[in-house]
Chain A
Amino acid sequence: MALKVLTVDDSKTIRMIVKKAFQNYNVEITEAENGVEGLAAAAKIKPGLIILDITMPVMTGTEMLERLKGDADLKNIPVIMLTAESGQDNVLNIVKQGVKDYMVKPFKGEDLIERVRKIMPLEAKAEEADDKKPGRFFTQVEDVVVLTLPAKVLRPVAVEVEGSLQAKIKEMAAAPLKKMVLDMGGVSETNVSLIKLIITVFQDCQKANIAVKLVANAKQGEELKGFQETSQITAVHSIEEARAAM
Chain B
Amino acid sequence: MIGIQEVDLKGFVTKAVQGVFKTMLSVPLELEDPPNIESVTTGKHIVGTVGFAGAVMGNVSIFVSREFAREMTAAMLGMTVDDIGSDEEVHDVIGEVCNMVGGDLKSRLCDAGFSCSLSIPSVTFGENFRTESKGWDRHERYGVRNSHHSALMEVYIKAANQ
Are A192 and B89 in contact, CB atoms less than 8 angstroms apart? no
A136 at the interface (CB under 8 A from B): no
Known: A11-B92, A13-B77, A88-B111. A83 touches B83 (CB 8 A): no
> Chain B interface residue count: which class?
20 to 34
B23 at the interface (CB under 8 A from A): yes
Q: Which of A36-44, A105-113, A141-149, A206-214 makes up part of the contact surface?
A: A105-113
A90 at the interface (CB under 8 A from B): yes
Query: Once A and B bind, how many residue pairs between them come within 8 Å at the CB atom?
Result: 87
- Select which of A14, A89, A191 is within 8 A of B115 by beta carbon: A89
Known: A13-B96, A84-B103, A105-B100. A20 touches B89 (CB 8 A): no
- Select which of A56, A57, A87 is within 8 A of B111 by beta carbon: A87
Are B78 and A20 in contact, CB atoms less than 8 angstroms apart? yes
Report the interface size for chain A: residues with CB under 8 A from the other chain.
Answer: 30
Residue of A nearest to B78 (CB): A20
Complex Cα gap A192–B84 (Å): 12
Are A89 and B110 in contact, CB atoms less than 8 angstroms apart? yes
Complex Cα gap A193–B82 (Å): 8
Residue of A nearest to B20 (CB): A106
Are A193 and B80 in contact, CB atoms less than 8 angstroms apart? yes
Complex Cα gap A106–B98 (Å): 11
Complex Cα gap A84–B78 (Å): 21
B28 at the interface (CB under 8 A from A): no
B145 shortest CB reach to chain A, Å: 19
Residue of A nearest to B110 (CB): A87
A84 shortest CB reach to chain B, Å: 2
Chain A residues near B88: list those with CB within 8 A.
12
Complex Cα gap A156–B80 (Å): 9
Are B107 and A86 in contact, CB atoms less than 8 angstroms apart? yes
Task: Write the B72-104 contact mask toward A (1 if CB under 8 angstroms, else 0).
Answer: 000011111111000011001101100110111
Known: A12-B92, A13-B96, A106-B24. A87 touches B83 (CB 8 A): no
**30 pairs from A and B in contact (CB 8 Å cutoff):** A10-B120, A11-B96, A11-B99, A12-B89, A12-B92, A16-B77, A17-B24, A17-B76, A56-B120, A57-B120, A83-B103, A84-B99, A84-B106, A84-B118, A86-B104, A86-B107, A87-B108, A87-B110, A89-B115, A90-B107, A105-B100, A105-B103, A107-B23, A107-B24, A108-B23, A108-B24, A155-B80, A192-B81, A193-B82, A196-B80
**Residues of A near any B CB (own CB < 8 A):** 10-14, 16-17, 20, 55-57, 83-90, 105-108, 154-156, 191-193, 196
